[in-house]
């Protein structure tokens, strides 16, 4: 797999250069279509039951791990995790994994950095890096349908966004269905306005070191049978490592220097 030989250059691009990369063809267009259609179906169901989180023309769906095999595949995609682990270390956990539906004329989300940085006081410590975000494109992101805006190299400033600077320097990131945008948590970004007649759908993954409290509650929509059949990797991401009462009291693996 050619991707793995590119990891050092991708890490450098995220950590030392622009602060983000776009990785194409991680899943097929058919798989992306399955994910998109499932999300729109779920949104219709949860809109009727009042479970859907609605913010004007923007909607969020949570608990995706328990709502489809395709989502469990995406959250632990091996190429994505290999890149994130190269930046954050092997003991990463899942901070959040949700879907964002931007309906026609949906306004911008608001310029921001990612969790946990937005819950902290600026300026931020540049190291250690506390979060990597993954935006899954389950459809084409175009100039017109609300593709995200990023300010290249803004993560190096390690501050909350400067609104004027953002408007002057932000670039719109487009790509094909099946791609993913992987970005440093300190990179300034926002959604753009959806100028089309169709909803624009994406999936947002938040990955952090194990010492960061997760952004989302992974017990939401909990299904025991899903976790019983989950891979060791997924259990680790969700902090479901099923420890024995006879194991050591510490919940983390300590790596002491000699």
Q: Tens digits of per-residue pLDDT, 40-78? A: 999 999 999 988 899 889 999 999 999 999 999 999 999
Tens-place pLDDT, residues 92-139: 999 999 999 999 988 888 999 999 999 999 999 999 999 999 999 999
Q: Would you place residue 253 in the very low, low, confident or very high pLDDT band (cuts 50, 70, 90)?
A: low
* Secondary structure letter of residue 41 according to DSSP: H
Those residues whose C-beta lies under 8 Å from the C-beta of residue 131, and which sit 6 or more positions away, are 95, 114, 115, 116, 117, 184, 185, 206, 207, 208, 212
How far does CA 231 lie from the centroid of its chain?
20
User: Between these two residues, 151 and 234, which has the higher pLDDT value?
Assistant: 151
CATH of domain 2-237: 2.60.120.620
**Structure confidence at residue 2 (pLDDT):** 42
Domain ranges in the chain are 2-237
d(CA 26, CA 2): 12
Asked which of 74-88, 135-149, 238-252 is least confident by mean pLDDT, the reply is 238-252
Would you call the peptide bond into 104 cis, given omega within 30 degrees of 0 as the criterion?
no
**Average pLDDT in the 208-236 region?**
88
Distances (CA, A) of 89 to 25, 66, 86, 130, 132: 25, 26, 6, 11, 11
User: Between these two residues, 220 and 254, which has the higher pLDDT value?
Assistant: 220
């Amino acid at each position: 797999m050619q991707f793995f030989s590119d990891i050092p250059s991708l890490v450098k691009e995220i950590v030392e250069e622009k602060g983000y990369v776009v990785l194409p063809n991680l899943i097929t267009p058919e798989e992306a279509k399955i994910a998109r259609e499932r999300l729109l179906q779920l949104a219709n169901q949860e809109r009727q039951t009042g479970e859907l989180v609605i913010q004007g023309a923007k909607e969020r769906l949570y608990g995706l791990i328990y709502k489809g095999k395709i989502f469990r595949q995406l959250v632990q995609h091996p190429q994505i995790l290999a890149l994130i682990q190269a930046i954050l270390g092997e003991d990463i956990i899942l901070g959040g994994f949700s879907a964002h539906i931007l309906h026609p004329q949906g306004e911008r989300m608001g310029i921001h950095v990612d969790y946990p940085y937005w819950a902290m006081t600026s300026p931020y410590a540049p190291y250690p890096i506390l979060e990597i975000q993954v935006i899954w494109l389950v459809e084409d992101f175009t100039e017109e349908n609300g593709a995200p805006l990023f300010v290249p190299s803004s993560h190096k400033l390690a501050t909350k966004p400067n609104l004027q600077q953002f408007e002057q320097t932000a670039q719109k990131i487009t790509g094909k269905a099946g791609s993913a945008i992987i970005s440093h948590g300190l990179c300034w970004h926002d959604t753009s306005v959806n100028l089309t007649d169709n909803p624009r759908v994406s999936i947002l993954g938040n990955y952090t070191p194990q010492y960061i409290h997760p952004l989302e509650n992974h017990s939401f929509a909990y299904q025991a049978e899903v976790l019983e059949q989950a891979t060791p990797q997924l259990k680790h991401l969700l902090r479901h490592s099923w420890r024995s009462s006879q194991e050591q009291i510490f919940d983390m693996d300590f790596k002491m220097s000699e």
